[in-house]
Structure 1
Amino acid sequence: MKISQTSVLHDNDSDVKHTLPTRGYLAFPPGTPVKSPSLLHHIIQQERLETLKPSSSPASSSPSTTQHNQTRPPPPPSPAPSPSSRSPPTPGSHSESKYASESLKGEKHWVRSGGFLRTPAGRRDPVRTAYVRRLVDEEDREAEVRRRWDGYEERWADLISRVGREGEVFRWEDLPWPILPSTTTTITGTKTSSFGSPFASNQNHRHHQKPTTIKSPSELTKHSISSFLFESLSLPENVANKVTRKDRIRATLLRWHPDKLGGVLARVPEGSGDGDGGSEGGEGGERVKVKEGIERVVMALMALGDEEKCAEKA
């Protein structure tokens, strides 16, 4: 028996219209008569109840509900917490160590620029400021020592590269004399040492050919040479590499040996002295002055080497 979508059934008892659901066919076994409209009404009510029951399993959900769940956009990602809302690092953790390092870096920058540290309550903290200022001064001192030594190494590299060129002429100021500069000179707004290494923060601005302040070989004493050679041994990289005073003396002596600098000395003009070279009042020109300077460096290095040997025996 086929029931139309627009079929209406009248109940004899209640005389109420019941619209049949749009479910297609209602099949009855062959030979089973429909006893009364009340039975049909009861079947329709049961179907309605089955339709209105919520599905308890994902497999029994309706296609429209499944399609709605599939097309629903994913939830937006939760925003990252702001620095102020982040929880403090766990004591003793790697995060705490990194946080302390970054905090100290900021304090150094502030003190270096002339600032004064304060307590969490907003009051000036002279104890903390003095401590950080000592750290800043030590870092600046190490940076200056490193720049002086790097400038010395750069001038040596420049000298060696010039030896291989034809027609090069060398002067007294071209040699990287191993001595601390007595004065500094400002060039194009950058404070530089006598080795041509800038003291400013812009380390890329270099002056390889900056003349030294040494004017006479008499300035090349054992004390002045040792002060320069040994001051950089306290740098962290030299401490880590275990560079000793004896190692520094040996390496410097190999550089300044007269046999190694014969090619340089041969290219120094003979008659261009300025009257300050040589122990005989500057006679003999610039070549004599350079030769005496090299000899003084070698003698000072040999004396320093003997002192180290005596210290080892003692």
Structure 2
Amino acid sequence: MSTKGYFAFPPSTPGTSRSYPTFIPQSPNTKETFVDESAPGQGDETRSEEPPHDEARINRLHEEQKLVEMNETEWVRSGGVLRDAQGRRDKARTERIRAELKLQEEEKAKMGRWREYDERWKALAADAAAFTLPAISEFLFESLSVRANTVTKKSRIRSSILRWHPDKSSLVVGRVVAGDVDAVREGIHAVFHCLKRLQDDERDNNNTV
């Protein structure tokens, strides 16, 4: 921390030989010079003192540097261009921050997709016991009522069975955390059995027509 003031010493008392050293202010990184007028021949002696280790000052400088970097990042994020100490465009530093921001966005998107996937599978595992035939049937066939729909029940059931077949679920199950594997497999089997029942019901209805 730089010295903001000066040391004040009372002037020498007239008629006495007592005098006080004069403090000559210097920059913080230079030697401090003391001139002791009461010591003959010692007026040009200097004493070097190392600045004390100031942990609070170092921490404050680190915080200030972080604040500067954060402000620069937000400036570049908003479309601004950084400048150097001479006021010239600092293209290299600006591009480095742009590249870092792009990487952060890509990583954020990747983690977002994984969290969404993970949450859906956890919901699937939690609701496995609630997978009933009416609920699955309603969800599976509700879009078939759309006026522009050309998909049949038979086709929808068949594609769903292929998608939910336990023999083809290894790729999906392999991406599930170990603690949820059994629950996810249980949910897959529950859905698959409901789909098979829907397929049998659809087949029987067609045969009775």
Same-fold call, TM > 0.5?
Answer: no
TM-score (norm 1): 0.30
Structure number with the bigger relative contact order (C-alpha 8 A, sep ≥ 6) is: 2
Looking at secondary structure, tell me which structure has more helix per residue: 2
Q: Structure 2 length normalisation: TM-score?
A: 0.43
